[in-house]
Amino acid sequence: MQPRLSLITLGVADLDRSVAFYRDGLGLPTEGIVGREFAHGAVAFFPLAGGVTLALWAQADLAHDTGLPVQPVSPTAFALAHNVHHREEVDAVISAARKAGAKVVKLPQDTFYGGYAGYFQDPDGHLWEVAWNPAMLPDQVPNA
């Protein structure tokens, strides 16, 4: 297996609410919800940098597709990270997330590695870190 991620799918309780959060609140581009004509097929795609796509799919539909039962989101099972170019961008993104309805769980602060970071949870509890790491700026991420 090649070390490559191309799609990250988040199971969400309310697809319309989550699309509004990511599109209107965080400003991520999307064509909106597609696939409503298919049973369990409604999904929204958000193209990200580096050829990765974020997908939002109703958690009940993801459970149906996999055959697994719906489980509560565990915010400490994993975190998505948004690495920014400048320290002040961390505050701006955290502020935008809060205004969009996110729960800020850790205000931005200096980190042990010499950077600056904070955390928020989206409306479904998925954890996002917003970080400025001067040793690993977005254009310098290894294997990007």
Work out the pLDDT band at 140, boundaries 50, 70, 90. Answer: low
Of the chain, the percentage scoring pLDDT greater than 70 comes to: 97
- What is the arithmetic mean of pLDDT over 9-32? 97
pLDDT at 141 over 80: no
pLDDT-derived band at 111 (thresholds 50, 70, 90) equals: very high
140 vs 109: which has the higher pLDDT: 109
Query: For residue 53, what pLDDT band results from cuts at 50, 70 and 90?
Result: very high
CA-wise closest residue to 111 among 139, 81, 68, 141: 81
Q: For residue 119, what are the CA distances in angstroms to 21, 38, 105, 129, 131?
A: 16, 35, 6, 4, 9
Q: What share of the chain is helix, strand, coil (3-state, %, to 5)?
A: 25, 30, 40
Number of neighbours of residue 59 by Cβ within 10 angstroms: 20
Question: Mean of the per-residue pLDDT values for the chain?
Answer: 94
Q: Where are the beta strands (DSSP E) in 74-132?
A: 79-83, 103-110, 116-121, 127-132
pLDDT in tens, 65-110: 999 999 988 999 999 999 999 999 999 999 999 999 999 999 999 9
Give pLDDT, residue 144: 44
Domains along the sequence of the chain with CATH: 7-66 (3.10.180.10), 79-140 (3.10.180.10)
The pLDDT, as a whole number, for residue 55 is 98
